[in-house]
Structure 1
Amino acid sequence: MLSSPLILLDANKIKKRLKKSSEKITVLEKIGSTNDYLKLHADQQVCLAEMQTQGRGRFNRSWHSPFGQNIYLSMRYAFQKDLSELSGLSLITALAVCRAIESIISIRNLKIKWPNDIVIGSEKIAGILIDVGAESHGYCDAIIGVGINVNMQNAAKKEIKQLWSSLQKITGKYIDRNVLSAAIINTVSDEIARFSKLGLSDFAKEWAEKDDLFGKSVVMLLEQKKITGIGAGINAQGHLMLKMPDKTLRAFSSGDASKDRV
């Protein structure tokens, strides 16, 4: 017997809540990865799946994707920008996902661990994976994948090798993924339009409020080397800034950052 009701994803229910009713939505029962599906189907805009067999996160890490519990969602966006102008895209997407969650659920302590892990305390709630391809005309096509632990209650340590939580574990309430999925699609679309028009600088205040690493001792794993510094926000390109032991500031465009547990 199920401890909670199982409300399956429904493209029509999601579509009814969208600001853009023309949005084409595909809901699949099972897929390798929603990002990979959109790569193979250029005519598709939004893809959700009940289950992923090859879900992945940053650094090609596996993303645990059991059936009917979480959100596995990918969206396609075309940008009239050069690839170099999209360096802040993952950050603003994380901000948009936080805003969408907070608009549906009474959670206000979500933070973002640079560049796009959404956490509560030291537990991961959601992650974002963006695949960007340059088009022949010089513009870019981005596939934005969002994975959120929604109603998941249990997972073996071998399945998730980090601290995690879910929205249901935090709130004690079952969450209709159709409602939350629509909020994410709407909010990400709105914030991407804002980003395209105004750039990353327009999100500076919001990032500062959600920055989980600011003022903390941070360990950056970069090319198998550990670098330690104090989180000092981001620069204009969205790169992580660390204050080094010699008081200089250093920018990181990539790497695996985490709070030092010492």
Structure 2
Amino acid sequence: MVEKMAKGALSSLDEKLVALLVAHGEIPCSGAAIGAGLGISRAAVWKHIQGLRQRGYRIEALHRRGYRLLGEPDFPSLERMQPYLTALSLLHPKQAYFFAETDSTNARASQLARDGAPEGTLCCADAQSGGRGRMQRVWVSPAGENLYFSVVLKPAIAPNDAAQITLLAGLALAQTLRDDLHIEDLYLKWPNDILIGGRKVAGILTEMMAEPERVRYIVVGVGVNVNGRVGDMPADLQCIATTLRESSGRSFDRSQLLARFLDRLGYWYRQFLQGGFAPLRESWLQYGDIQGRRVRVNFYAESFTGVAESMDQNGCLLVTRDDTGALTTVVAGDVNLL
């Protein structure tokens, strides 16, 4: 397992150094000037510059001219998320873990949950070496571009109802992207994908630990293609995936996106705990694009085609099969739009 914990807030000295570079704008600031301003040697200036680079600051060194700040990191942190968090946000502020790299945020969150981590524990990574989606598919997870995170939930529900949490998280994410970030032509695909113009931009992987009659914990894992380029993806994904940036022509602040989602997730999670899935169903269908669509439903051992009629009160997909004409309740499976 590869795991590098993202560092916390900047030291006061680093904050002053960044502020000095920001103040100079496009004009390089010499090492001597920085040293004089901060009261440190030029060698110490270099050391601090290197430290900032490791945190994601893009700092250009110009021979005999000095340093110039080209860009600041946008990898989420509590400090960067704070302006967008509200009382509704489903986040335990003392249980937020940010990794420069890990194998899988779901794996990290699951381990923390097994060790007794409370509800609202968050694991977020800038890169994953073992990211995965449903049916053990690989989730490509490069650094510096996207969002990969997992949240621990501990609802008092039966294991049979746990799949509804996936639909709940999908609704929260769709609302975040469409309503808060104003992404157009975006809709939910049952049970766990979000598409823009028919291409996948986000997915949800929900895993749980349960006893026969109760859930011990659920981990909601989310991956969102944010600021990357489709051309940099593996060839087999380029015709079926997209990113928020390429679909909208805009770049997005990952801290803001994550905070907005946690706010929406908190709202719908409370609705779910109070009234079950019924209050969510109509809203999910408003953001979905499944009713009346021809689909192929894939299981491990078989598949069939048909027409998706609706979603029942439990969140199961109702499909009229082409081969038998029977209305079939799909509890779990992989669904492709035809």
Aligned to 1:188: 265
Distance in 2 separating the partners of 1:40 and 1:86: 19
Deviant stretches of 4+, over 4 Å:
1-6
Aligned to 1:210: 287
**Range with greater deviation from structure 2 (156-165 or 215-224):** 156-165
Residue 206 of structure 2 is aligned to residue 130 of structure 1: yes
Aligned to 1:176: 253
**Range with greater deviation from structure 2 (6-15 or 79-88):** 6-15
Q: 1:237 to 1:4 in 2, by over 3 A?
A: farther
Distance in 2 separating the partners of 1:137 and 1:257: 28
Residue 156 of structure 2 is aligned to residue 80 of structure 1: yes
Q: 1:149 to 1:90 in 2, by over 3 A?
A: same
Provide Cα deviations, 1:199-251, integer angstroms capped at 9, x if missing partner: 11112221222222221111111234220100111112211111123543101
Q: Aligned to 1:29, which of 100, 117, 137?
A: 100
Of Structure 1 and Structure 2, the greater helix share is in: 2
* Conserved? CA contact 1:220–1:256, under 8 Å: yes
Q: How many positions carry a matched residue from both structures?
A: 260
What root-mean-square deviation, in Å, do the aligned CA atoms of Structure 1 and Structure 2 show? Answer: 2.4
CA deviation after TM superposition for structure 1 residue 152, in Å: 0.9
Distance in 1 separating the partners of 2:127 and 2:78: 15
Q: 1:224 to 1:122 in 2, by over 3 A?
A: farther
Q: Secondary structure at the match of 2:154?
A: strand
**Range with greater deviation from structure 2 (111-120 or 247-256):** 247-256
* Conserved? CA contact 2:307–2:320, under 8 Å: yes
- Output the amino acid matched with 1:10: S
Q: 1:151 to 1:225 in 2, by over 3 A?
A: same
Distance in 2 separating the partners of 1:81 and 1:102: 29
Provide Cα deviations, 1:25-57, integer angstroms capped at 9, x if missing partner: 111100000010111223370011000010000
CA deviation after TM superposition for structure 1 residue 66, in Å: 0.5
CA deviation after TM superposition for structure 1 residue 16, in Å: 4.3
Distance in 2 separating the partners of 1:140 and 1:15: 29
Residue 130 of structure 2 is aligned to residue 54 of structure 1: yes
Question: TM-score, normalised on structure 2?
Answer: 0.71
* Conserved? CA contact 1:87–1:237, under 8 Å: no
Give 1 or 2 for the bigger CA radius of gyration.
2
* Conserved? CA contact 1:15–1:25, under 8 Å: no
Q: Aligned to 2:330, which of 247, 252, 256?
A: 252
Distance in 1 separating the partners of 2:308 and 2:216: 31
- The alignment-based identity, stated in percent, is 25
Aligned to 1:115: 191
Ranges in structure 2 where 5+ consecutive residues have no aligned partner: 1-57, 60-69
Ranges in structure 1 where 5+ consecutive residues have no aligned partner: none
Residue 168 of structure 2 is aligned to residue 97 of structure 1: no
* Conserved? CA contact 1:83–1:140, under 8 Å: no
Q: 1:138 to 1:226 in 2, by over 3 A?
A: closer
Q: 1:137 to 1:220 in 2, by over 3 A?
A: closer
Question: TM-score, normalised on structure 1?
Answer: 0.90
Aligned to 2:28: none
* Conserved? CA contact 2:123–2:149, under 8 Å: yes
* Conserved? CA contact 1:113–1:213, under 8 Å: yes
Higher relative contact order (CA closer than 8 Å, sequence separation 6+): 1
- Output the amino acid matched with 1:182: A
CA deviation after TM superposition for structure 1 residue 126, in Å: 0.3
Aligned to 1:39: 110
CA deviation after TM superposition for structure 1 residue 173, in Å: 1.2
